[in-house]
Chains A and B, each alone.
Chain A
């Protein structure tokens, strides 16, 4: 509400003087800071936890049998044998259980309220996913129950250059401000191919939008970086003049669209680019080389296996699906061996969900790479833990079971690569945010609450004279590409 009010005021001001507004916001004409850390609430001291005698898949240094893990003050403070439980610690018998670091999903649209696409222009670097975090989205909880504890929230793929991304921990029960990972490098979404050229979204009567071809996508990105480069020069000139002590220098006009692209040029903002075909991957590498920036990750990158060498030499990383393919023409040459080929070429690779559904079972998506391409267990485990942490620049604190890292830890009923396994407990910053037994124990109470609500007058069936409820949510299928979702739609047509 407060934000809405602020926005409304800003719009009113803008109506009078756009310049005044931008200058006023810029704080002396400085482009806004790359990271905009939200003010986290004071961290509640999580109860200490000792997990005893488990099989610990550290990811960074192998599998440790019969090992204890101590979570204290939100960190992993000890990994070893016969650890002593601090006073008041929760003790979990890990006998027969497996401990894995929390899964990190390097491509998610969970908890993003409403549409993930600001689709009206093909360059929307002024839009920020951080503005639409919904901490009550039940998908967060379902993902914790699947062992996922962190995610890169990306703008949709409607635009050649989309909005800014947010790296979050799934801090279920906390306010939205607690979700962004403090200090995580900022990012931006790019997209290539069918989605930004809108080729599958031709609705009669809808105004077509430039670009409509892969040529146009290249030109759109190039145009934006040419503008960003000129804009940066204007600012560099201005700052140099101020530094020389010149008086009455007029600062360039702030441009919220170009500020993030300047950060990309300066290496301060990661580019996460949605892509499918080999040609468009090479196209973006070409632009990046020309303008002197690195693509941090290619997302989806389903034909990455065709140009793995080029991706490796550019220094980009890759975040892909294991075997989701064929749902559109540009995904028709996708193969389940993609991750393995990329890994073998030395590309730091992760497996992501891009789906509230798949985000609940990324363990199995990773396990499949042992079948498809013969990755080792450790290589496959990295695809959903350490490698995505590296890609998001948070591996110092997350992605493996190491002393000193954040206590983002999942206790599994069996080896997480077994289809028969499920998470028992999920900890984020040492806090127990999912506990299967507690969940089951809560169900009768929730059921009773539900019955009471259903009996309430407002919820009675139409024939009974009550106010009719809204149509219940429709089926949400497995294998959707959330990137493509423009609105709450389509599912009902099934």
Chain B
């Protein structure tokens, strides 16, 4: 296979053409992945002389990483470069796997307030398993480039609202279409687990305003029952469909039900169900619910996960902590209760990862969420895993992402220091094995105005 590359003439012409465009057009262009990148085979790169933080294994000094066909093809101290590879001299630099944020609404919410036309996070209705984020991700969202130049290269983009919010997509942050971006188009089901005090739709929210009354408790239980029923229906629906597929002549064809059809893989425990739950009681309820129905649960939120760490450990339920930088839930909680949450889970052997929980604009702050957890007791190496390998494992994509290993997708960040430190600069970025320019809406506006007198 012959690798096509830009000739220097082409680059010059491209630069000249860009200069002719208006400033607005330029600002928009940085938010798009150059389509030519998707029309050409991914180039071969050799990153040389770097301190390679593999995350999955020991860090390697003065090592080489080879990227071919979008994948990491070799890592090590004594690696021969393939012919025709572009060499990146990374001596004195560090190579990390790209960071992963497992709790965003990336590409669904451009301007959160005052521009409802740009918001696609929340569908009407209470049970929306057949609603999938994948169809609504805007590859041209300015958040995408802003996020990736900060070293976050993949995210879980989730729907919100209702009881069953819909299906989340796991995407890489480069590409001209959701299909190109998707690592797992239907990665997880998102459930806002019914609770007193806000969860499970607007009616529950209204009820919660009245305080914890007997009514509110029974309403929560009723909603949990409804959730149980739809999962059981889906399980039965799946069996009916299977029976029909096996014997279409004698078994009557079951009517198609899009909601139940969408739920089948989740009801069978084949794909993760992400339950939003913050408080001790709600976390326990969600996990017991998942156990009863034999689902594959993941808790997101988990503000009080540290209070139920042995329970989570025993059931092997992972937690996406998107609450590190939230204010403590209660006035009398220790001031660092959410900073320390991750360290306590780690010490107890609970699987966890760290997320910003941000809709998009501030997902680039992911390393600082992990850093804060490390400032309050989480070992540094664990903090790094919490934003690389652990989210990949929890969402079932660790065979492709989360560490620097042969065969994995080449999402790599080359830095001049510790990836989690605010003062560190990112020097090179690779997503899907392609080098991505370190530009975004922010760098373009900066270049445009920094010298204006």
Contact = CB atoms under 8 A, between A and B. Distances in A.
Interface of A: 138-139, 141-142, 145, 194, 199-200, 305-306, 308-309, 323-329, 332-333, 335-337, 341, 344, 356-357, 361, 364, 367-368, 370-373, 413, 417-422, 439, 443, 446, 450, 461-463, 468-479, 484, 491-494
B361 to A, nearest CB: 4
Contact of A470 (B211, B278, B301, B450): B211
A312 to B, nearest CB: 9
Contact of B197 (A361, A364, A439, A472): A472
Looking at chain A's contact residues, the main secondary structure is loop
Given A337-B450, A371-B425, A419 B358 contact: no
Nearest to A453: B332
A182 B9 CA distance: 67
B115 A479 contact: no
Contacts of B380: 420
Interface string B210-224: 111110010000000
6 contacts: A139-B327, A364-B422, A417-B423, A475-B198, A477-B357, A479-B358
A335 B364 CA distance: 13
A373 B335 CA distance: 32
Given A327-B112, A344-B450, A371 B424 contact: yes
B119 to A, nearest CB: 12
Contact of B449 (A306, A323, A479): A306
Interface size class of B (residues with CB under 8 A): 35 or more
The 10 A-B pairs with the shortest beta carbon distances in the complex, nearest first, are: A419-B371, A326-B361, A367-B422, A200-B114, A478-B325, A337-B446, A335-B442, A476-B327, A328-B113, A492-B198
A327 B452 contact: no
Interface in B333-371: 334-336, 339, 356-358, 360-362, 364-365, 367-368, 370-371
B361 A327 contact: yes
Nearest to B276: A494
A419 B420 contact: yes
Contacts of A461: 212
Contact of B445 (A335, A356, A361, A439): A335
A421 B111 CA distance: 33
A478 B446 CA distance: 26
Contact of B330 (A337, A462, A472): A472
B212 A370 contact: no
Nearest to B423: A370
A356 B327 contact: yes
Nearest to A306: B449
Given A333-B445, A475-B323, A419 B362 contact: no
B217 A361 contact: no
A370 B421 CA distance: 11
A228 to B, nearest CB: 31
Nearest to A372: B442
A332 B111 contact: yes
B33 interface: no
B260 interface: no
Contacts of A470: 211-212
Contacts of A421: 375
A194 B445 contact: no
Contacts of A356: 327
A337 B279 CA distance: 38
Given A142-B335, A327-B361, A462-B212, 17 more contacts: A139-B327, A142-B327, A145-B335, A323-B364, A326-B361, A341-B449, A344-B450, A364-B422, A371-B423, A372-B442, A419-B374, A419-B375, A470-B211, A472-B330, A473-B330, A475-B323, A479-B362
Given A305-B446, A337-B442, A493-B198, A420 B374 contact: yes
